[in-house]
Amino acid sequence: MNAPTPVDLNAVKARQQTAWASGDYAVVGTTLQLVGESLAEACDLCWDERVLDVAAGNGNATLAAARRGCRVTSTDYVPALLERGAERARADRLEVAFQTADAEALPFADASFDAVLSTFGVMFTPDHGKAAAEMARVCRPGGRIGLANWTPEGFIGQLFKTLGRHLPPPAGVQPPALWGTEAHLEKLFAGTAAAIQVNRRIFTFRYRSAAHFIEVFRTWYGPVHKAFAALGDKAGALEADLTALLERLNVAGPRSLVVPGEYLEIVVRRA
């Protein structure tokens, strides 16, 4: 039997980077600000603490930490997303350092930060182990690593499964939603965590209708935007499946679209 072909994680990362740079994630990302605020409270951030936001996107956790007086460095591998975060920081008169950086190779010294955060960002890295190790490396002993990760069974986990049925992910790449399971988190932070606290949370997506949600996401949310573009004349089948998923999970009835999205709010105490 032939050995399986090794996965080229660098190629996977390059495709992901292109996907997240397409559309404009900030249009969707700003609706998730509550998650960043809740995570900042869960991590009990204090004034003047050094905080790193990894795969920050348009900066929800960044701004939440800065509002609590922290000295924040916001990082992402998509410069355009950092600029969206910088625009928001300037509007709120918040001092934040923005730096392009790969979550799997953070350009910071060991134990540089009191807290390291990521809201729905680091979970999309191709090499889960390397990303977790990097977050732990730059966090000081006794510091906190705060994460918000979609669960596999929740709405966004199901959305990505639906995308995967139409555009299968590369063989051998771990699904992002594994970060939304306690067993995977324990494995990722084994040896670097003194304790891991996990709470299940709900973020509620609110749109006019299923059609409105799909219009917004296919226009602005990189992975969905790229999926529709790649499918071409087969995109109608994806639209039908997404509509069915949204209508099945909608708790508002015919008057609107209100879909609960489960995620894990995690605080890892660094050993």
Q: What is the pLDDT of residues 105-161, one digit of tens each?
A: 999 999 999 999 999 999 999 999 999 999 999 999 999 999 999 999 999 999 999
Q: Tell me the residue ranges of DSSP E strands in 120-220.
A: 139-150, 193-207
The band of 13, judged by pLDDT with boundaries at 50, 70 and 90, is confident
- Going from N- to C-terminal start, the domains of the chain cover 9-204+261-270
Question: Quick check: 85 and 1 in contact, CB under 8 A?
Answer: no
Closest CA to 92 of 48, 49, 62, 54: 62
User: How high is the pLDDT of residue 121?
Assistant: 97
Residue type, position 62, single letter? T
Question: Quick check: 139 and 115 in contact, CB under 8 A?
Answer: yes
Element (H, E) at 17: helix 9-21
User: For 217, left (φ over 0), alpha (ψ -120 to 50), or beta?
Assistant: alpha
> Looking at the domain that runs over 9-204+261-270, which CATH code has it been given?
3.40.50.150
Q: How far is Cα 71 from Cα 89, in angstroms, rounded to an integer?
A: 13
Q: What is the pLDDT of residues 57-81, one digit of tens each?
A: 999 999 999 999 999 999 999 999 9
pTM of the model: 0.95
User: How high is the pLDDT of residue 209?
Assistant: 98
User: How high is the pLDDT of residue 210?
Assistant: 98
pLDDT at residue 4 is higher than 70: no
Burial class (CB in 10 A: 0-12, 13-18, 19+), 173: middle
